[in-house]
């Protein structure tokens, strides 16, 4: 496995040159476009395999949408969550606003686009925004078996300053009564969760929890119900890779979620958790070398669930 991962990283690193770093925040531009790393946690043996830049920190960005979905479902139950956010792919970019107006029902299409994640974030329980954030980061610490997970304050400040599109989505949803409560507080929580730093190794462990039906494989602790875990994986398949989710399902065939920090969280039910980092992105916002790497891996190990 180790040799395979090293070969796949070496073969695909070059594709970082063909993409672009996310540029809406200066600190995301500091990443090295040719960084590429992968970590795999094998459920059967509990072993971790890795190659390339798998301990480089990057911000979780949209991958945090999986966490807010899991917490919203655990806190409110699926009926209450899916009254406020749908589960259909959009075929549109992750921060598109158009569907919020043209549909009959004004709720966002799914929890993996920005509008949908702002809604699931608003549903997370807690007495204060600090407590809500603590619950998000604590969930991630447990799901990655890494107590050192923390926020990148510089990215958080920039998310706040540059977050006008997210602000528009949120206030638009407030005007339609989809979003309730203090919009600025909800946005602040969303910006914070996007700014949490992880590594490919952290994502691989999170993927292993999802692969293991919500139980942390290293200590048997249940982090979410089987039902919540199943819903999260299903929506990752249909919507996790933005408007490239269909193509990804055909070519790779496993539940996955990407973020503009360059991360990919992937999970092969009952077999593997996979974490990838490659900050150079394609036009849709997915890691350009990461996509090729995971496609090659899926071909080599016959990972498609279909
Ligand atoms: N912080 C980014 C945003 O809200 C996250 C988007 C992403 O990773 N696709 O726009």
Average pLDDT per block of 10 residues along the chain, 306 residues long:
96 97 92 97 97 97 98 98 94 84 83 97 96 98 98 97 96 94 97 98 98 97 98 98 95 98 98 98 96 98 98
216 CB within 6 A, ligand 1: no
Contact present, 118 and 165 (Cβ < 8 Å): no
Query: 96: annotated binding-site residue?
Result: no
Nearest CA to ligand 1 atom 6: 62
Phi, psi at residue 67, to the nearest 5°? -65, -45
Asked, colleague to colleague, whether 2-59+198-301 and 62-194 share their fold, the answer is yes
The ligand 1 atom nearest the CA atom of 95: 10
166 CB within 6 A, ligand 1: yes
Residue of 9, 15, 41, 65 with catalytic role: 65
pTM above 0.95, yes or no: yes
The pLDDT of residue 104: 67
DSSP 63: G
Residue of 260, 271, 277, 287 with catalytic role: 260
Pairing state between β 58-59 and 197-198: antiparallel
* 2-59+198-301 under CATH 3.40.50.300, yes or no: no
How many of the other CB atoms lie within 10 Å of CB of 32? 13
| Residue ranges per structural domain of the chain | 2-59+198-301, 62-194
Core vs surface per residue 208-242: b (16+ CB within 10 A) or e: bbbbbbbbbbeeeeebbeeebbebbbebbbbbbbb
- Verify whether residue 190 is a known catalytic residue: yes
Contact present, 280 and 21 (Cβ < 8 Å): yes
Domain range 62-194, its CATH number among 1.10.10.10, 2.30.140.10, 3.40.710.10, 2.40.100.10: 3.40.710.10
């Amino acid at each position: 496995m180790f040799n395979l991962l090293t070969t796949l990283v070496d073969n695909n690193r070059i594709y970082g040159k063909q993409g672009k770093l996310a540029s809406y925040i200066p600190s995301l531009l500091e990443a090295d476009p040719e960084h590429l790393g992968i970590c795999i946690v094998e459920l059967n043996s509990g072993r971790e395999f890795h190659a390339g830049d798998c301990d480089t920190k990057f911000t979780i960005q949209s991958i945090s949408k999986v966490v807010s979905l899991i917490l919203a479902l655990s806190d409110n139950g699926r009926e209450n969550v899916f009254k406020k956010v749908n589960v259909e792919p959009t075929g549109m970019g992750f921060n598109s606003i158009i569907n919020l107006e043209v549909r009959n029902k004004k709720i966002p299409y799914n929890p993996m686009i920005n509008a949908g994640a702002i809604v699931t974030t608003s549903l997370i329980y807690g007495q204060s925004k600090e407590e809500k954030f603590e619950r998000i980061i604590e969930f991630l610490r447990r799901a990655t078996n890494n107590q050192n997970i923390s926020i990148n304050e510089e990215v958080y400040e920039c998310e706040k300053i540059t977050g006008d599109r997210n602000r528009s989505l949120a206030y638009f949803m407030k005007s339609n009564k989809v979003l309730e409560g203090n919009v600025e507080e909800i946005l602040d929580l969303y910006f914070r969760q996007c700014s949490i730093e992880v590594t490919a190794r952290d994502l691989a462990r999170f993927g292993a929890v999802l692969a293991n039906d919500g139980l942390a494989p290293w200590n048997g602790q249940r982090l979410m119900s089987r039902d919540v875990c199943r819903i999260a994986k299903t929506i990752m398949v249909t919507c996790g890779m933005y408007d490239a989710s269909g193509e990804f399902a055909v070519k790779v065939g496993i539940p996955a979620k990407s973020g503009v920090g360059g991360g990919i969280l992937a999970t092969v039910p009952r077999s593997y958790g996979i974490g990838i980092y490659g900050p150079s992105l394609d036009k849709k916002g997915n890691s350009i070398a990461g996509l090729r790497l995971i496609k090659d891996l899926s071909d080599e190990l016959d990972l498609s669930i279909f």
